[in-house]
Amino acid sequence: MEKERHYYEHIVGVQTEEEGAQSEDRLQGLFESKLSDIDEFELEKTQEDLEIIKITESIVDRIVLEYGGKPKSLPIDNVYLLTPNKLLEYSKGKFAGGLHNPLSSKIIVERNQSTVVFASTLAHEMFHLKGYKSARIGKSGSDIHLYRSGITMVNRKDIEAEVGEEKEYFTVLEEAIVSECVRQFLDILAEENAINEELIAFNQIRDYISKYYESIGVDEMRIKVFEQELKYIENSPQILEEIISYSEIEEERQGYASGMYDNLIKQDKEKVITLERYLERQKMYDLLDNIVSKSNGKFEYGEVFDKLAHSHFSGNYLPFARIVEEVLGKGEFRKLAKEFSYLLEQEDNTEETKDK
Ligand SMILES: [Zn+2]
């Protein structure tokens, strides 16, 4: 089998051939390295896990390709599965759910009992990892730093900063793009895995609740948002069974489903999961809406998002930057970089991602 190569398409600051070869080796070494401190938390992958990882990667790759990226396969050994709730302990309280390390191309994901939650977290990290990557040589000439990871740009002037301590631009926008791609991923997963009991039950319950909302006159837009944001309900197959046995009348089932849903939310936030990175996505939706409305019909929402996603996966952000400058004014792209560089710390632990 041909040896798989690291993901870096460009190394900034290389001046001699020797430096070039050294940094290549460095990156390849990191790519092939093994995490040494994870043994006590790591789970051995079952046949089912391997199957889910394979399906997940194949759907992710199709989406990456669609947005101009060049998806490279991820060696199975670069994916680490952890016992549920162990990532917090492993990362000393910093991360939960999943994380990725861009320089060494590693993904660490908790093996949630739900196939959908597991696949979705895995897809999230893959969308980060399979974004465009470039590195730069550090001050000493032998150390290697992250320069660009997807649309995220590391401040080059920060040459004194330790790896991982540099200021990063566009991180918020990257989270938003990645999460939006996870939504597309989940749609495809549901469509193509119509035999998955968990997905079928979940879709059916969501449908019951939507119909109930409709029947009591909830605004159409709000129902749509509810459907788009809801990602997972714990024990969907059992819950569906309960709903069905409650009554033979559809309307009564709908009302019952909605009541159960409300109860689940009250009980425990882990029982119902919505699409991640809500605040980041809202910030992105606002930006895209603003561009569309100020363009006076020249650009459509889908087209602008498409260009934005291309910036993340292909690395070429000029088409998006051009739209921004044309519609919002000169210098606005630069301003966005800052504006989208951070959010206030969130207490949302469901999905943290970047390992520094
Ligand atoms: Zn993320």
Query: pLDDT at position 67, please?
Result: 98
- DSSP structure class, residue 78: G
In-domain check, residue 307: no
Cα 118 to middle of ligand 1, angstroms: 14
Give how many domains the chain has, as a whole number.
2
* Contact in structure between 155 and 166 (CB atoms under 8 Å): yes
Centre of ligand 1 from the C-alpha of residue 352, in Å: 6
* Ligand 1 geometric centre to CA of 126 (Å): 9
Position 20 in a domain: yes
* Gap from CA of 124 to ligand 1 centroid (Å): 6
Q: How far apart are alpha carbons 166 and 152 in whole angstroms?
A: 12
Task: Classify residue 125: in a domain, yes or no.
Answer: yes
Q: Which of 230, 250, 274 is the last residue of a domain?
A: 274
Taking each helix axis as running N to C, give the angle between helix 197-215 and helix 115-129, from 0 to 180 degrees, rounded to the nearest 10: 100
Q: How far is the CA of 276 from the centre of ligand 1 (A)?
A: 8
Q: Confirm whether 285 is domain-assigned.
A: no
Distance from Cα 180 to the centre of ligand 1, integer Å: 11
Q: Is residue 290 part of a domain?
A: no
Domain-embedded: residue 292: no
Confidence (pTM):
0.90
Distance 329 CA to ligand 1 centre (A): 29
Could you tell me the distance, in angstroms and rounded to a whole number, from the CA of residue 233 to the centre of ligand 1? 21
* Structural domain for 76, as ranges: 10-171
Whether 104 and 204 share a structural domain: no
244 in the same domain as 97 = no
Whether residues 31 and 152 share a domain: the answer is yes
Domain check: are 211 and 141 in the same one? no
- Same structural domain, 202 and 165: no
Question: Tokens 């740009």 map to which residue?
Answer: 153
Under 8 Å between Cβ of 127 and 64: yes
Cα 92 to ligand 1 centre (Å): 18
Question: Tens of pLDDT along the chain (356 residues)?
Answer: 567 899 999 999 888 999 899 999 999 999 999 998 898 899 999 999 999 999 999 999 999 999 999 999 999 999 999 998 899 899 888 888 899 999 999 999 999 989 899 999 999 999 999 999 999 987 776 788 889 999 998 876 655 655 556 678 899 999 999 999 999 999 999 888 766 888 899 999 999 999 999 999 999 999 999 999 999 999 999 999 999 999 999 999 999 999 999 999 888 777 899 999 999 999 999 999 999 999 999 999 999 999 999 999 999 999 999 999 999 999 999 999 889 987 544 433 334 444 33
Dihedral of CA atoms 294, 299, 303, 305 in degrees, nearest 10, equals: -10
From the CA of 6, how far away is ligand 1's center (Å)?
20
Same domain, 19 and 94: yes
Match 């660009």 to its residue by tokens: 148
Query: Is the Cβ–Cβ distance between 321 and 308 less than 8 Å?
Result: no
* CA of 93 relative to ligand 1 center, distance in Å: 17
CA of 286 to the centre of ligand 1 (A): 19
- Identify the domain boundary among 274, 295, 330: 274
Q: Please indicate, yes or no, if residue 18 is contained in any of the structural domains.
A: yes
Residue type present at position 313: F
The span from the CA of 33 to the CA of 30, in Å, is 5
CA distance 94 to 280: 19
CA of 149 from ligand 1 middle (Å) equals 12
> Does any domain span residue 246?
yes
Say if residue 19 is in the same domain as residue 110: yes
Nearest to 234 by CA among 278, 265, 279, 190: 265
Give the integer Cα–Cα distance in Å for 85 and 90: 9
